[in-house]
């Protein structure tokens, strides 16, 4: 198992491989989408709301752990409002003051950098070499300063059941289950 990695190395660094080596193909796509969204929105940093938005748009495993299509639609609607209006309150400030590690096209908010680090650590604990979307989603729920957490609460997402569905999803992946849980969040 790799040694503990400093938080500031969330997207690569001297102690471990770069982003592509520690993210699944799907999660690397999510990170690229979050980067593009931050640039397009004129935000100074890639924050956890950018990551959540990109996860919901592009990762079917992540969408499947929510309480049905209406909840995902409500979340996406709120995130779009954030980027075109509500988000203007956030554009003038970073998600927790302080500079995060630099990435192409912007920097990570400290909370987003921490979430990326935790996603990788969850993957390692599960015995996987690459973090997946569910790892990142779980990591977004840990830090009370996370804008993603604020978005989820505002949209009425109940966090304990969401965490249970995330853990069930990981158990299915580890045990080689048939992923039937992806079709029904209750199931």
Per-residue pLDDT of the chain (187 residues; tens, 9 = 90+): 333 333 333 444 333 444 556 888 888 999 999 999 888 877 788 999 999 999 999 999 999 999 778 889 989 988 887 766 555 455 445 565 344 444 444 589 999 999 999 999 999 998 998 999 999 999 999 888 899 998 899 888 999 999 999 988 766 654 544 333 333 333 3
87 Cβ contact list (under 8 Å, min separation 6): 41, 43, 49, 81
Cα dist. 156→9, 35, 87, 108, 119 in Å?
33, 26, 18, 26, 24
Q: Which of 161, 129, 135, 125 has the alpha carbon at shortest distance from 61?
A: 135
Cα(116)–Cα(132) distance, integer angstroms: 10
Cα(161)–Cα(66) distance, integer angstroms: 9
Cα(90)–Cα(68) distance, integer angstroms: 28
Under DSSP, is residue 12 helix (H, G, I), strand (E, B) or coil?
A: strand
166 Cβ contact list (under 8 Å, min separation 6): 65, 134, 137, 138
Q: pTM here?
A: 0.75
């Amino acid at each position: 198992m790799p040694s503990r990695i400093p938080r500031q190395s969330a997207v690569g660094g001297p102690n471990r491989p770069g982003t592509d080596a520690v993210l699944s193909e799907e999660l690397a796509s999510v990170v690229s989408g979050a980067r593009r969204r931050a640039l397009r929105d004129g935000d100074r940093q890639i924050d956890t709301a950018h990551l959540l938005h990109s996860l919901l748009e592009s990762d079917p495993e992540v969408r499947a752990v929510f309480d049905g299509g209406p909840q995902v639609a409500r979340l996406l609607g709120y995130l779009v409002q954030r980027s075109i209006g509500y988000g203007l309150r956030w554009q003038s400030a970073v998600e927790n003051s302080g500079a995060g590690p630099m990435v192409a096209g912007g920097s990570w908010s400290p909370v987003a950098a921490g979430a990326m680090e935790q996603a990788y650590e969850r993957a390692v604990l599960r015995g996987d070499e690459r973090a997946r979307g569910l790892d990142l989603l779980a990591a977004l729920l840990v830090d009370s300063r996370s804008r993603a957490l604020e978005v989820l609460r505002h949209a009425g997402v109940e966090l304990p059941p969401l965490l249970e569905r995330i853990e069930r999803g990981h158990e299915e992946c580890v045990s080689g289950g048939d992923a039937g849980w992806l079709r029904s969040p209750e199931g």
